[in-house]
Amino acid sequence: MSVFFMAVIGGFFTPSMGFSQTSAETTVCTFNVRYDNPTDTLKWFERKDEVANAVRYFDIVALQEVLPNQFSDLSDKLTEHDSFGRGRNADGTGEACPVYWNRARYDLVKGEVKWLSTDPNQAGSTGWDADLPRLVTIVVLFDRINQETVRVLNGHWSHVGEWARRSSAAMMAGWSGHSEDGLTLVCGDFNAEPESFEISDLMTIGNLNDTYESARYRCRKEFGTFSSFFTDAIAGAKRIDYIFFRGDFEVEWACSDEHIKFGLYISDHLPYQAVFKPLN
């Protein structure tokens, strides 16, 4: 029996965390929270509060590697967002890529999960040279403030298969929709650096912009997102987590946030955020 997860989380905003400062702004965060691995240096029960606080105050949140127990923990701690997602395995278990939204601002129009394979409607299917099922969560929201729809895609691409990543890029570009959406967001951990063919394919086919390159301000001149738990690894961190977009918006701010506990990052990825402002 498939297991779909619907949950709740919530927040406030400063330039590095939170709900929109002005009503028309949209704050977005993507974060690979690291699956609950009992052998990790910083274990889930030690970091779950900090993970919840890291995403608490954004209008829209895309998470990756969320196991059912982690989903439940976050739902218990975060109460101002609704969410949609399911696990990647055929029975609905396993890692999910849920999308969350501020309940006070957005209404869910549509939610679906597709698998990154040659049979995207087959739950649990594995594509091309990937070694595990990979999926994308797609939600369409109605923004009651800006009076327009927001399409959000949240995915986690294969870490081993270039063919799988390039195929995933083409599929997600196609699913990113058309110009009738006010704002389109394509988020996730894509296990590919900005110069790679798969990232180029996604941006070109989907006519998408990279928030990192488009931002009016960044918190640092350059930064990565895949750091490991160890803070001294940040100097060589790769940028593999993204928020791409399409629509009549400008990116006011982009940053990867460093949340530290016991001298360690709270995940092996940093949460990456962007703040959008309508052009009109």
Positions of E strands within 123-259: 135-143, 148-156, 183-189, 209-210, 217-218, 241-247, 249-256
Question: pLDDT by residue (tens digit) across 261-272?
Answer: 999 999 999 999
Band (pLDDT 50/70/90 cuts) for residue 78 is: confident
- Of 279, 257, 280, 277, the C-alpha closest to 21 is 277
CB 133, CB 89: distance < 8 Å:
yes
Q: Are 270 and 29 in contact (CB under 8 A)?
A: no
Distance CA 215, CA 51 (A): 25
Please give the distance of CA 142 from its chain centroid, rounded to a whole number.
Answer: 19
Which pLDDT tens digit goes with each residue over 110-166? Answer: 999 999 999 999 999 999 999 999 999 999 999 999 999 999 999 999 999 999 999
Question: Mind listing the pLDDT tens digit for each residue in 184-218?
Answer: 999 999 999 999 999 999 999 999 999 999 999 99
CATH number for domain 4-278, candidates 3.60.10.10, 3.90.25.10, 3.30.1490.190, 3.40.190.80: 3.60.10.10
Residue 41: its H or E element? none
Q: Binning pLDDT at 50, 70 and 90, where does residue 43 land?
A: very high
Q: Quickly tell me which residue has 């929201």 as its tokens.
A: 141
Task: State the Cα angle at 248 between 247 and 254, rounded to 5°.
Answer: 80
pLDDT band at 19 (very low <50, low <70, confident <90, very high): low
What mean pLDDT is predicted for residues 219-234? 96
pLDDT digits (tens, 9 = 90+) for 229-251: 999 999 999 999 999 999 999 99
Task: Record the pTM.
Answer: 0.92
